[in-house]
Chain A
Amino acid sequence: MNTKAYFMIKKEAITGGDDHPETIRELEAMPEVESVEPVSGEYDLVVVADVDAPTRIALVAKEIQAKDWVKDLHVLKLEPAAPNPFLDEVSSIPGGESVHWCVQCGMCSASCPNVHKMDYSPRKIIALVRAGRRYDALTSNTMWVCASCYLCTVRCPKDVKITELMHTLECLSVRHGLRKGGTTPALYRAFVDSIKGNGRVHELGMMMKFFLKTNPLAALKIISVGLQLLSHGRMSIKPTRIKGAEQIKTIVERAHALGGTK
Protein backbone atom coordinates (compact mmCIF):
# COMPACT_ATOMS: atom_id res chain seq x y z
CA MET A 1 0.00 0.00 0.00
CA ASN A 2 1.57 3.26 -1.11
CA THR A 3 1.62 6.28 1.16
CA LYS A 4 1.52 9.75 -0.31
CA ALA A 5 2.67 12.98 1.28
CA TYR A 6 3.07 16.61 0.32
CA PHE A 7 6.27 18.47 1.17
CA MET A 8 5.90 22.26 1.34
CA ILE A 9 9.36 23.72 0.85
CA LYS A 10 10.59 27.23 1.58
CA LYS A 11 13.89 27.97 -0.09
CA GLU A 12 16.71 30.09 1.19
CA ALA A 13 16.61 33.60 -0.26
CA ILE A 14 18.27 33.54 -3.63
CA THR A 15 20.38 36.37 -4.90
CA GLY A 16 19.70 36.98 -8.52
CA GLY A 17 18.71 34.43 -11.15
CA ASP A 18 16.05 31.80 -10.98
CA ASP A 19 17.46 28.44 -9.97
CA HIS A 20 14.07 26.72 -9.81
CA PRO A 21 14.85 24.36 -12.72
CA GLU A 22 17.96 23.09 -10.94
CA THR A 23 16.32 22.51 -7.59
CA ILE A 24 13.33 20.95 -9.30
CA ARG A 25 15.60 18.61 -11.25
CA GLU A 26 17.43 17.70 -8.05
CA LEU A 27 14.21 16.74 -6.33
CA GLU A 28 12.77 14.92 -9.33
CA ALA A 29 15.89 12.77 -9.40
CA MET A 30 14.87 11.28 -6.06
CA PRO A 31 12.98 8.00 -6.57
CA GLU A 32 10.26 8.78 -4.02
CA VAL A 33 9.41 12.15 -5.56
CA GLU A 34 6.43 11.92 -7.86
CA SER A 35 6.13 15.59 -8.88
CA VAL A 36 7.48 19.04 -8.08
CA GLU A 37 5.64 22.31 -8.64
CA PRO A 38 7.02 25.81 -8.07
CA VAL A 39 4.58 28.03 -6.24
CA SER A 40 4.44 31.53 -4.90
CA GLY A 41 3.12 32.42 -1.51
CA GLU A 42 4.06 31.03 1.86
CA TYR A 43 6.16 28.34 0.18
CA ASP A 44 8.25 28.04 -2.96
CA LEU A 45 7.87 24.41 -3.94
CA VAL A 46 5.15 21.81 -3.52
CA VAL A 47 6.50 18.27 -3.76
CA VAL A 48 4.37 15.12 -3.97
CA ALA A 49 6.14 12.09 -2.56
CA ASP A 50 5.03 8.47 -2.88
CA VAL A 51 6.65 6.02 -0.47
CA ASP A 52 6.09 2.32 0.16
CA ALA A 53 5.96 2.62 3.94
CA PRO A 54 4.75 5.50 6.13
CA THR A 55 8.01 5.49 8.08
CA ARG A 56 9.90 6.47 4.95
CA ILE A 57 8.19 9.84 4.77
CA ALA A 58 10.24 11.18 7.66
CA LEU A 59 13.43 9.84 6.11
CA VAL A 60 12.76 11.41 2.74
CA ALA A 61 11.78 14.69 4.41
CA LYS A 62 15.05 14.64 6.32
CA GLU A 63 16.98 14.02 3.12
CA ILE A 64 15.38 17.00 1.42
CA GLN A 65 15.72 19.24 4.47
CA ALA A 66 19.47 18.51 4.50
CA LYS A 67 19.89 20.27 1.17
CA ASP A 68 21.53 23.63 1.64
CA TRP A 69 18.95 25.53 -0.41
CA VAL A 70 16.06 24.36 1.75
CA LYS A 71 15.16 26.84 4.44
CA ASP A 72 12.01 25.20 5.74
CA LEU A 73 10.07 22.04 5.02
CA HIS A 74 6.60 21.12 6.18
CA VAL A 75 5.16 17.68 5.68
CA LEU A 76 1.49 17.18 4.90
CA LYS A 77 0.57 13.51 5.28
CA LEU A 78 -2.43 12.41 3.28
CA GLU A 79 -5.23 11.05 5.34
CA PRO A 80 -7.12 8.05 3.92
CA ALA A 81 -8.90 9.04 0.74
CA ALA A 82 -12.38 9.14 2.12
CA PRO A 83 -13.80 8.02 5.44
CA ASN A 84 -15.50 4.66 5.11
CA PRO A 85 -17.63 4.19 8.21
CA PHE A 86 -19.34 1.09 6.85
CA LEU A 87 -16.03 -0.69 6.27
CA ASP A 88 -14.89 0.40 9.72
CA GLU A 89 -18.09 -0.95 11.22
CA VAL A 90 -17.74 -4.32 9.52
CA SER A 91 -14.03 -4.55 10.40
CA SER A 92 -14.70 -3.86 14.06
CA ILE A 93 -16.95 -6.89 14.49
CA PRO A 94 -15.05 -10.07 15.45
CA GLY A 95 -14.43 -11.99 12.24
CA GLY A 96 -15.10 -8.95 10.04
CA GLU A 97 -11.54 -7.65 9.87
CA SER A 98 -10.60 -10.33 7.35
CA VAL A 99 -12.57 -8.41 4.71
CA HIS A 100 -9.43 -6.31 4.14
CA TRP A 101 -7.42 -9.28 2.92
CA CYS A 102 -9.58 -10.10 -0.11
CA VAL A 103 -7.90 -9.93 -3.51
CA GLN A 104 -11.15 -10.41 -5.45
CA CYS A 105 -10.06 -13.71 -6.97
CA GLY A 106 -13.65 -15.00 -7.06
CA MET A 107 -12.94 -18.42 -5.57
CA CYS A 108 -15.73 -17.89 -3.05
CA SER A 109 -18.29 -17.12 -5.74
CA ALA A 110 -17.15 -20.13 -7.74
CA SER A 111 -17.57 -22.39 -4.70
CA CYS A 112 -20.92 -21.12 -3.48
CA PRO A 113 -23.80 -23.56 -4.06
CA ASN A 114 -26.40 -20.78 -3.84
CA VAL A 115 -24.66 -17.99 -5.74
CA HIS A 116 -27.19 -18.07 -8.57
CA LYS A 117 -29.90 -16.91 -6.15
CA MET A 118 -27.86 -14.04 -4.66
CA ASP A 119 -28.26 -10.37 -5.58
CA TYR A 120 -24.49 -10.07 -5.27
CA SER A 121 -22.03 -12.95 -5.28
CA PRO A 122 -19.78 -13.35 -2.23
CA ARG A 123 -16.91 -11.66 -4.08
CA LYS A 124 -19.14 -8.74 -5.03
CA ILE A 125 -20.53 -8.22 -1.57
CA ILE A 126 -16.98 -8.00 -0.22
CA ALA A 127 -16.25 -5.36 -2.88
CA LEU A 128 -19.38 -3.47 -1.84
CA VAL A 129 -18.34 -3.51 1.79
CA ARG A 130 -14.91 -2.16 0.93
CA ALA A 131 -16.45 0.53 -1.26
CA GLY A 132 -18.54 1.64 1.69
CA ARG A 133 -21.85 0.88 -0.02
CA ARG A 134 -23.80 0.17 3.12
CA TYR A 135 -27.30 0.47 1.70
CA ASP A 136 -26.69 -1.83 -1.27
CA ALA A 137 -24.92 -4.41 0.83
CA LEU A 138 -27.36 -4.48 3.74
CA THR A 139 -30.53 -4.51 1.65
CA SER A 140 -29.34 -7.33 -0.59
CA ASN A 141 -30.49 -10.90 -0.14
CA THR A 142 -26.96 -12.27 -0.46
CA MET A 143 -26.22 -13.13 3.14
CA TRP A 144 -29.73 -14.49 3.72
CA VAL A 145 -29.26 -17.00 0.91
CA CYS A 146 -25.98 -18.22 2.40
CA ALA A 147 -26.32 -21.74 3.78
CA SER A 148 -23.19 -21.50 5.95
CA CYS A 149 -21.58 -24.44 4.19
CA TYR A 150 -18.12 -22.86 4.64
CA LEU A 151 -16.80 -24.01 1.25
CA CYS A 152 -15.79 -20.42 0.45
CA THR A 153 -13.96 -20.03 3.75
CA VAL A 154 -11.98 -23.22 3.33
CA ARG A 155 -10.98 -22.43 -0.25
CA CYS A 156 -10.18 -18.73 0.10
CA PRO A 157 -6.49 -18.21 -0.67
CA LYS A 158 -6.30 -15.22 1.66
CA ASP A 159 -8.12 -16.77 4.64
CA VAL A 160 -11.00 -14.34 4.44
CA LYS A 161 -13.76 -15.53 6.75
CA ILE A 162 -16.53 -15.12 4.20
CA THR A 163 -19.20 -17.11 6.00
CA GLU A 164 -18.59 -15.12 9.16
CA LEU A 165 -18.78 -11.96 7.09
CA MET A 166 -22.21 -13.10 5.88
CA HIS A 167 -23.32 -13.53 9.50
CA THR A 168 -21.94 -10.08 10.31
CA LEU A 169 -23.87 -8.53 7.43
CA GLU A 170 -27.02 -10.27 8.60
CA CYS A 171 -26.53 -8.88 12.11
CA LEU A 172 -25.93 -5.37 10.75
CA SER A 173 -28.88 -5.64 8.42
CA VAL A 174 -31.10 -6.54 11.37
CA ARG A 175 -29.60 -3.90 13.63
CA HIS A 176 -30.05 -1.09 11.10
CA GLY A 177 -33.55 -2.23 10.29
CA LEU A 178 -32.56 -2.86 6.69
CA ARG A 179 -33.27 -6.55 6.46
CA LYS A 180 -35.05 -7.42 3.28
CA GLY A 181 -38.61 -8.53 3.72
CA GLY A 182 -37.68 -12.09 2.91
CA THR A 183 -38.58 -15.32 4.57
CA THR A 184 -35.19 -16.21 6.01
CA PRO A 185 -35.01 -13.22 8.38
CA ALA A 186 -38.50 -14.12 9.59
CA LEU A 187 -37.49 -17.71 10.28
CA TYR A 188 -34.39 -16.64 12.17
CA ARG A 189 -36.53 -14.26 14.18
CA ALA A 190 -38.95 -17.05 15.13
CA PHE A 191 -35.98 -19.28 16.02
CA VAL A 192 -34.42 -16.65 18.27
CA ASP A 193 -37.76 -15.84 19.92
CA SER A 194 -38.18 -19.50 20.79
CA ILE A 195 -34.81 -19.49 22.54
CA LYS A 196 -35.50 -16.23 24.35
CA GLY A 197 -38.78 -17.62 25.62
CA ASN A 198 -37.91 -21.18 26.54
CA GLY A 199 -34.18 -21.63 26.20
CA ARG A 200 -34.74 -24.27 23.51
CA VAL A 201 -36.10 -24.32 20.00
CA HIS A 202 -39.55 -25.82 19.76
CA GLU A 203 -39.62 -26.76 16.08
CA LEU A 204 -43.38 -27.02 15.67
CA GLY A 205 -44.06 -23.73 17.43
CA MET A 206 -41.33 -21.97 15.54
CA MET A 207 -42.60 -23.19 12.15
CA MET A 208 -46.17 -22.24 12.96
CA LYS A 209 -45.10 -18.76 13.98
CA PHE A 210 -43.00 -18.46 10.84
CA PHE A 211 -45.74 -19.47 8.42
CA LEU A 212 -48.35 -17.32 10.14
CA LYS A 213 -46.07 -14.29 9.86
CA THR A 214 -44.94 -14.81 6.28
CA ASN A 215 -47.30 -16.86 4.16
CA PRO A 216 -49.61 -19.44 5.71
CA LEU A 217 -50.34 -20.90 2.29
CA ALA A 218 -46.69 -21.82 1.88
CA ALA A 219 -47.15 -24.23 4.75
CA LEU A 220 -49.38 -26.31 2.51
CA LYS A 221 -46.36 -27.25 0.42
CA ILE A 222 -44.74 -29.05 3.32
CA ILE A 223 -47.81 -30.15 5.21
CA SER A 224 -47.24 -33.72 4.03
CA VAL A 225 -43.75 -33.63 5.51
CA GLY A 226 -45.04 -32.17 8.76
CA LEU A 227 -47.68 -34.86 9.13
CA GLN A 228 -45.16 -37.62 8.43
CA LEU A 229 -42.74 -36.26 11.00
CA LEU A 230 -45.57 -35.97 13.51
CA SER A 231 -46.77 -39.54 12.94
CA HIS A 232 -43.22 -40.84 13.30
CA GLY A 233 -42.84 -39.15 16.66
CA ARG A 234 -40.35 -36.60 15.39
CA MET A 235 -42.24 -33.45 16.35
CA SER A 236 -42.92 -32.59 19.94
CA ILE A 237 -46.24 -30.86 20.46
CA LYS A 238 -45.36 -29.12 23.69
CA PRO A 239 -42.34 -26.87 24.05
CA THR A 240 -39.78 -27.58 26.75
CA ARG A 241 -38.85 -24.73 29.03
CA ILE A 242 -35.48 -25.00 30.70
CA LYS A 243 -35.02 -24.01 34.33
CA GLY A 244 -32.50 -21.41 33.26
CA ALA A 245 -34.92 -19.61 30.93
CA GLU A 246 -34.76 -16.60 33.27
CA GLN A 247 -30.96 -16.67 33.10
CA ILE A 248 -31.20 -16.51 29.32
CA LYS A 249 -33.49 -13.48 29.61
CA THR A 250 -31.06 -11.76 31.98
CA ILE A 251 -28.08 -12.50 29.74
CA VAL A 252 -29.84 -11.24 26.62
CA GLU A 253 -31.02 -8.08 28.40
CA ARG A 254 -27.50 -7.34 29.58
CA ALA A 255 -26.08 -7.95 26.10
CA HIS A 256 -28.66 -5.56 24.71
CA ALA A 257 -27.64 -2.92 27.24
CA LEU A 258 -24.00 -3.34 26.28
CA GLY A 259 -25.01 -2.62 22.72
CA GLY A 260 -23.18 -5.18 20.63
CA THR A 261 -19.59 -6.23 20.25
CA LYS A 262 -18.04 -2.82 19.49
Chain B
Amino acid sequence: MGTKAYFMINMGKKFSDDSYYLDAIRDLEAMPEVEAVNQVSGVCDLLVKVDEPVRVTPIANKIRAKKWVKNFHILNVESTQPTETQKPDEP
Protein backbone atom coordinates (compact mmCIF):
# COMPACT_ATOMS: atom_id res chain seq x y z
CA MET B 1 0.00 0.00 0.00
CA GLY B 2 1.07 3.57 -0.37
CA THR B 3 0.86 6.01 -3.19
CA LYS B 4 0.55 4.62 -6.66
CA ALA B 5 1.34 6.43 -9.85
CA TYR B 6 1.85 5.88 -13.55
CA PHE B 7 4.87 7.34 -15.27
CA MET B 8 4.57 7.89 -19.00
CA ILE B 9 8.06 7.97 -20.42
CA ASN B 10 9.31 8.89 -23.88
CA MET B 11 12.74 7.63 -24.72
CA GLY B 12 15.22 9.76 -26.64
CA LYS B 13 15.34 8.94 -30.35
CA LYS B 14 18.83 7.50 -30.32
CA PHE B 15 17.85 5.15 -27.48
CA SER B 16 14.87 3.71 -29.22
CA ASP B 17 16.32 0.46 -30.49
CA ASP B 18 15.66 -2.95 -28.95
CA SER B 19 18.85 -3.32 -26.93
CA TYR B 20 18.22 -0.05 -25.08
CA TYR B 21 14.65 -0.98 -24.38
CA LEU B 22 15.75 -4.23 -22.82
CA ASP B 23 18.36 -2.51 -20.66
CA ALA B 24 15.92 0.25 -19.66
CA ILE B 25 13.22 -2.23 -18.72
CA ARG B 26 15.62 -4.37 -16.69
CA ASP B 27 16.96 -1.26 -15.03
CA LEU B 28 13.49 -0.12 -14.00
CA GLU B 29 12.31 -3.55 -12.92
CA ALA B 30 15.26 -3.79 -10.59
CA MET B 31 13.93 -0.86 -8.56
CA PRO B 32 11.86 -2.02 -5.60
CA GLU B 33 9.36 0.83 -5.96
CA VAL B 34 8.55 -0.15 -9.52
CA GLU B 35 5.52 -2.43 -9.69
CA ALA B 36 5.32 -2.95 -13.43
CA VAL B 37 7.00 -1.80 -16.62
CA ASN B 38 5.31 -2.02 -19.97
CA GLN B 39 6.82 -1.23 -23.32
CA VAL B 40 4.05 0.45 -25.28
CA SER B 41 3.42 2.11 -28.58
CA GLY B 42 1.46 5.34 -28.67
CA VAL B 43 2.02 8.75 -27.15
CA CYS B 44 4.77 7.34 -24.95
CA ASP B 45 7.26 4.45 -25.06
CA LEU B 46 7.19 3.10 -21.53
CA LEU B 47 4.39 2.95 -19.02
CA VAL B 48 5.70 2.41 -15.53
CA LYS B 49 3.57 1.75 -12.46
CA VAL B 50 5.13 2.63 -9.13
CA ASP B 51 4.15 2.18 -5.51
CA GLU B 52 5.88 4.41 -2.92
CA PRO B 53 5.01 5.20 0.66
CA VAL B 54 3.62 8.75 0.96
CA ARG B 55 5.01 10.47 -2.16
CA VAL B 56 6.27 9.33 -5.55
CA THR B 57 8.58 12.27 -6.04
CA PRO B 58 11.79 10.42 -5.01
CA ILE B 59 11.33 7.58 -7.51
CA ALA B 60 10.13 10.01 -10.16
CA ASN B 61 13.28 12.06 -9.81
CA LYS B 62 15.45 8.96 -9.90
CA ILE B 63 13.94 7.83 -13.18
CA ARG B 64 13.72 11.28 -14.72
CA ALA B 65 17.48 11.64 -14.28
CA LYS B 66 18.27 8.66 -16.54
CA LYS B 67 19.99 9.57 -19.76
CA TRP B 68 17.46 7.81 -22.01
CA VAL B 69 14.43 9.67 -20.63
CA LYS B 70 13.32 12.41 -22.97
CA ASN B 71 9.83 13.15 -21.69
CA PHE B 72 8.29 12.24 -18.39
CA HIS B 73 4.70 12.59 -17.16
CA ILE B 74 3.31 11.59 -13.80
CA LEU B 75 -0.23 10.36 -13.32
CA ASN B 76 -1.01 10.03 -9.63
CA VAL B 77 -3.50 7.28 -8.99
CA GLU B 78 -6.32 8.58 -6.83
CA SER B 79 -7.91 6.62 -4.09
CA THR B 80 -11.11 4.88 -5.11
CA GLN B 81 -12.31 4.31 -1.55
CA PRO B 82 -16.03 5.02 -1.34
CA THR B 83 -16.63 8.17 0.75
CA GLU B 84 -19.52 6.81 2.79
CA THR B 85 -19.80 7.95 6.38
CA GLN B 86 -18.78 5.63 9.17
CA LYS B 87 -21.35 3.77 11.16
CA PRO B 88 -21.97 5.43 14.51
CA ASP B 89 -20.52 3.58 17.46
CA GLU B 90 -22.83 1.30 19.31
CA PRO B 91 -24.08 2.88 22.43
Residue numbers of A with Cβ under 8 A of B are: 6, 8, 20-21, 24, 37-43, 46, 74-80, 82-83, 85
Contacts and interface: CB of A to CB of B under 8 A. Distances in A.
Contacts of B21: 83
B41 A77 contact: yes
Contact of A39 (B25, B43, B78): B78
A46 B6 contact: yes
Contacts of B8: 8, 42, 76
A76 B47 contact: yes
Nearest to B19: A83
A6 B44 CA distance: 11
A6 B38 CA distance: 10
A79 B39 contact: yes
A39 B77 contact: yes
Interface of B: 4-6, 8, 18, 21-22, 25, 38-44, 47, 73-78, 80, 82
**Main secondary structure on chain B at its contact with chain A?**
strand
Contacts of B6: 37, 39, 46
Nearest to A41: B75
Contacts of A78: 38-40
Given A77-B42, A78-B38, A6 B47 contact: yes
B18 to A, nearest CB: 5
B17 to A, nearest CB: 10
A40 B39 CA distance: 22
B18 A83 contact: yes
A74 B75 contact: no
B77 A75 contact: no
Given A76-B40, A76-B42, A80-B39, 9 more contacts: A38-B78, A38-B80, A39-B78, A46-B6, A76-B41, A77-B41, A78-B40, A83-B21, A83-B22
